[in-house]
Structure 1
Amino acid sequence: MWQNLIAVIIFVVIYCLRDARKPQFYPPGPNWLPLVGCGVYVFNLMKRFNFYHLMWHDLARRFGSVVGLKLGRDRVVIISGLEAVREFYSKDEFNGRPNGFFFRVRSFNKRLGVVFTDGEEWEVQRRFSVRTLKLLGMGKTGMVSNLEKESDDLIQHFRKFSRTQKTINMHNAFDIAVLNVIWTLIAGKRFHLGDKRLEWITGTIHKSFRVIDMSGGVLNQLPCVRYICPVKSGFAPLVRLLKPLWDFLENTIKVIASRSNAAEDYDCLISSYLRELQKDELHPSFSYEQLLCVCLDLFQAGSETTSNTLGFGVAYMLHHPEVVSKMHQELDNVVGRYRLPLLRDRPYLPYTEAVICEIQRMSNVAPLAIAHRTVSPVQLGTYLIPENTITMVSLYSLHMDKAYWGDPETFRPERFLNETGTQVIQHECFLPFGAGKRRCLGESLAKSNLFLFFASFMHAFIVEPAVDGQLPQLEGIDGITLSPKPYRVFLKERLIYWTHKH
């Protein structure tokens, strides 16, 4: 018995020593403890900073642009700064996605969809999704007309509030309009802006992004913890929020599938996918569950970041009335006071475009982008990153780099303009949509949404705080993305008459 006990103790000691040992040439970072790695250290650091991206930014300040940690069983590397980020995005070895419990729980404990997958199946599903969305008009003239119609309806919806002098919740006021744009492509229809069911669904999407951080939290390292503390681990809230979204999407798919002409119907991504499922020679990655997860990915990612950016945008405008005055002057000179902006006006509204860029830079809605995974060992700078390491890029470190921007904490749209103020300039430290092969597939649509909704709203209304002198907070709510804290405003009409020509 004693021999067995001694053997067990020796085994445990050896295991702990090996578990606490860092791989050779691994990036610097906090010391590891057996089993939990840097978990305790990170937990205490998070209590201090309250935001994950600020915590990772502090670690970069201490240890350098490439920081190596171990959280439970997972190796995690955080990449910050222009040089390291540029090298990161140039190497295909970083193009994988994590395969932890958190990343699978939203897709029926499988690797499905186009966001948290990699390899051949991801390439097939992404290629099909992009091709289908383009066939449905994404980036084409027909989609432009739909966007302008959606923007016009949104402004008319806001107009009712301005005429009754009621205050409006501004932090989520763009949710349904933004969702309608992607939903028209996914399901071939749109929702009424006053639809209470959609308010509930968009609220559910926002909440699902807040229950856990991009690294997957403790749930990713110790899935069994969901049985011990299902609420605090984030598991119970996540499933509770995902279920109604699954049900909503499944019901939508069933309705579209029940049409007599579903096989020939190309009016949306769902009907096109259903037609694909009927083919004799079908790639094994295509399935009904895959369709659900592709829709969920597009449904969530296609609405969350854009609507959050717009919510932050109006809040920043309340803080910077001098910016609003310059933007109004440009809009009046180019568009006039008798209509709303159109997408074709965009090249002639450089200051408005620069304001949107500055909102994206300052709000940092996706401060850590989406987590990657190394598909094989890869060198980054002088460090060697092992296979299956979770890697996260701090876009926040780029957008708030003092050495590059000079005054990153100052809201200054002019930084995105040339010397004459007539042209928007590109900055290599400005990557709100990421870069490389995993760059946001809906980037062009998101940019059009942001411009049209924001420019139209600012052209149509004067915005005032609901409570005199009380400005909204600019510090967001943490999660996978940052979302604006709730705030209300008064809207006053400023145009004589407005309409879009369709």
Structure 2
Amino acid sequence: MWMFVIAIVILLCYLVYVDIRKPKDYPKGPRWYPIIGNYTQVSKELEKQGYHHKVWMEFANEYGNMIGLKMGTMLLVVVNGVDLVREVLTRDEFSGRPDGFFFRLRTFGKQIGLVFSEGSFWEKQRKFTVFHLRDLGLGRQKMEALIQEETHDLMEVLKQESAKGPVEIKNAFDISVLNTLWAMTAGKRYNLNDERLNYLARLVHDSFTKVDPSGGLLNQMPLLRFLAPNLCGYNLVSTLVNKITHFISESINEHVDTFDADSPRDLIDMFIKKMHSKSETFTEEQLISLCMDLFMAGSETTSNTLSFAVLYLAEYTDVQRKMQSELNDVLGSRTPTLRDKINLPYTNAVLCEIQRMSNVAPVGVPHKTTCNVTLADCVIPKGTIMLANLFSVHMDEKFWGDPHNFRPERFLNAEGQLEIPDKHFMPFGVGKRRCMGELLAKANYFLVITTLLQNFHIEKNPDDPELNLSGRDGFTLSPASTKLILSARYL
């Protein structure tokens, strides 16, 4: 009996030793503990800093720009600084996507979809999606016309809302932004006041605040879904997945019932046509997962960026007036077009500065090592989750000088023309996994803000004059609930 007990104790000690032992030549970082890894240290620092990307900056001060961690059962490496960030985002060895319970929860327990798939499967799906979205108007005049139509309707809604009093900015752009993408994906747009879509968009935003880019507690310790389903975000994410899956499935069923192989109307029709060819990667589950990725992307980062932009313009009214003056000189009362961008350098400089400071996706989408890889004399094992801290690049004092000051002129040269330092400015990431929706996001951002400034003066609400420009932490940064005064502007 004693021998059995001693054997169990020895085995447990060995398992603990194996669990806490760091891989050979792993990047420097805090020591980790059995089962939970560095969870307690990260949580303690998160209480101080309030944001995960600031935790990584603080750790970098102690351990250097590359930090080796373990979160639950997952190895995690965070890189800071422009050189390491660009290397991680551009090298093929880092082009994988993390796997785990949280990431598979969205996609039928499989590593499918578009955002979190990898390898040849991802390459085929991305090629198909980009090709057909371009054929449907992405990056072309049709896309611009769709955005202009949505923007016009949005201005009408904002005029109605502003006549009643201060306007809630946090979710003001969700459906407008989603509609443009959804028109190409599912051939349908929704009323900006559609209750069901607004509810789903709010669920998306809320779910993004429950996890960090590594997948949060739900991915690090998936057993918590049984012990603390609300705390780890399981209940919220499950609700979101179920409701969006039902919404998308309804749309797909409508397409199946009216499908004509000779006249595909949108991306869903083109995918169904591909399914009929019996291609093994084109399945109904993949179609739902792909649409879910597009839906969530279409209602999150771009709408958050637009909301932050309005907050910054309310805070810096002198900048707002200069933009309006430039718009007056170049456009008069004419509706903005994408061709006008080249003639609006100050306006574009402001939009860049807002992206730099708001950092809506401060660490982007997580990557994963596809093999054992050497980076800056450290060895990172295959399957390690990689976070590239874009915030550290956008707030680098050595390059920007005064990164915490809102100064749009930093994007203008001596002649007053737009000059973007591409190496140090990467709101959409870099490399082959750069944001696929960049063209649509940039077009939405420019056309909505310029049209908004043509129609309104944006002012703080005297009843709540303190603006939160930092937002809420999560997978992305999202603006806090804020009401602003939009007063009609007459040119």
TM-score category by the smaller chain? Answer: over 0.9
CA drift of 1:18 comes to: 2.1
Q: TM-score, normalised by structure 1?
A: 0.95
Q: Which has the higher mean CA deviation after the structures are superposed, 197-206 or 102-111? A: 197-206
Q: 2:472 aligns with which of 457, 472, 477?
A: 477
The answer for the alignment partner of 2:367 in structure 1 is 372
CA RMSD, Structure 1 to Structure 2 (Å):
1.4
CA drift of 1:161 comes to: 3.1
The answer for the alignment partner of 1:122 in structure 2 is 122
Q: Does residue 427 of structure 2 align to residue 432 of structure 1?
A: yes
SS at match of 2:422: coil
For the residues of structure 1 that align with 2:123 and 2:142, how far apart are their CA atoms?
27
CA drift of 1:423 comes to: 2.6
Asked if 2 retains the 8 angstrom alpha-carbon contact of 1:262 and 1:274, the reply is no
CA drift of 1:494 comes to: 1.4
Matches within 5 A, 1:420-499: 420-467=415-462, 470-496=465-491
Q: Which has the higher mean CA deviation after the structures are superposed, 467-476 or 45-54? A: 467-476
Matches within 5 A, 1:83-482: 83-162=83-162, 164-259=163-258, 261-279=259-277, 282-336=278-332, 338-467=333-462, 470-482=465-477
Q: Which has the higher mean CA deviation after the structures are superposed, 282-291 or 405-414? A: 282-291
Letter in 2 for 1:301: A
Letter in 1 for 2:283: S
Q: Deviations over 1:327-378 (max 9, x none)?
A: 1111000001x22211111111111111111111111100110111101011
Q: How many equivalent pairs are there?
A: 491
CA drift of 1:285 comes to: 1.3
For the residues of structure 2 that align with 1:388 and 1:203, how far apart are their CA atoms?
33
Asked if 1 retains the 8 angstrom alpha-carbon contact of 2:80 and 2:390, the reply is yes
For the residues of structure 2 that align with 1:194 and 1:218, how far apart are their CA atoms?
34
Asked if 1 retains the 8 angstrom alpha-carbon contact of 2:89 and 2:388, the reply is no
CA drift of 1:180 comes to: 0.7
The answer for the alignment partner of 2:65 in structure 1 is 65
CA drift of 1:165 comes to: 4.6
For the residues of structure 1 that align with 2:436 and 2:182, how far apart are their CA atoms?
16
Letter in 2 for 1:376: C
CA drift of 1:218 comes to: 2.2
Q: Deviations over 1:297-332 (max 9, x none)?
A: 011112310100010111011111110111111100
The answer for the alignment partner of 1:2 in structure 2 is 2
Q: Deviations over 1:134-169 (max 9, x none)?
A: 11010112222222222222222222334x252211
Letter in 2 for 1:400: M
The answer for the alignment partner of 1:29 in structure 2 is 29
Letter in 2 for 1:196: E
For the residues of structure 2 that align with 1:66 and 1:79, how far apart are their CA atoms?
5
Q: TM-score, normalised by structure 2?
A: 0.97
Q: Which has the higher mean CA deviation after the structures are superposed, 75-84 or 8-17? A: 8-17
Q: Could you tell me the percent identity over the aligned residues?
A: 42
For the residues of structure 2 that align with 1:359 and 1:184, how far apart are their CA atoms?
28
Letter in 1 for 2:413: N
SS at match of 2:209: coil
Asked if 2 retains the 8 angstrom alpha-carbon contact of 1:463 and 1:490, the reply is yes
Q: Deviations over 1:258-301 (max 9, x none)?
A: 11x4433422111111111111xx33111101000000001111
Asked if 2 retains the 8 angstrom alpha-carbon contact of 1:465 and 1:489, the reply is yes
For the residues of structure 2 that align with 1:356 and 1:370, how far apart are their CA atoms?
22
Which structure 1 segments of 5+ residues have no match? Answer: 497-502
Q: Deviations over 1:91-131 (max 9, x none)?
A: 10100011111110111111110101101111111111111
Q: Which has the higher mean CA deviation after the structures are superposed, 48-57 or 245-254? A: 48-57
CA drift of 1:34 comes to: 2.3
Which structure 2 segments of 5+ residues have no match? Answer: none
For the residues of structure 2 that align with 1:283 and 1:192, how far apart are their CA atoms?
36
- In the TM superposition, structure 1's runs of 4+ consecutive aligned residues that sit over 6 Å from their partners are none
Asked if 1 retains the 8 angstrom alpha-carbon contact of 2:348 and 2:418, the reply is no
Q: Which has the higher mean CA deviation after the structures are superposed, 228-237 or 96-105? A: 228-237
For the residues of structure 1 that align with 2:132 and 2:313, how far apart are their CA atoms?
37
SS at match of 1:233: coil
Letter in 1 for 2:459: E
Letter in 1 for 2:206: K
